[in-house]
Amino acid sequence: MTDRIQQMSEMWPKTTSDERDPRDDQEEEKRREDEINSDKPPHHE
């Protein structure tokens, strides 16, 4: 039973969007966008 509870707890985030500062989410989103934009396949360089 405890294995099942452990597996279920990994499915949901530790915090929800209403518990987080939206500025943190924006910073993370910008960081990901920058990373995606800078990631180019070798034949495009």
Residue 45 within a domain: no
Residue range 20-28: mean pLDDT, rounded: 79
H helical segments located in the chain = 2-9, 22-38
Instruction: Taking residues 1-20, report their average pLDDT.
Output: 64
Mean pLDDT value of segment 3-23: 67
Residues 3-42 as b or e (16 or more Cβ within 10 Å = b): eeeeeeeeeeeeeeeeeeeeeeeeeeeeeeeeeeeeeeee
Residue 7 lies in a domain: yes
pLDDT for position 33: 92
Is 12 domain-assigned? Answer: yes
Give the domain extent around 5: 1-36
Tell me how far apart the alpha carbons of residues 9 and 4 are, in angstroms, rounded to a whole number.
9
What average pLDDT score do residues 27-40 get? Answer: 88
Give the pTM: 0.41
What integer is the mean pLDDT of 19-42? 83
Number of domains in the chain: 1
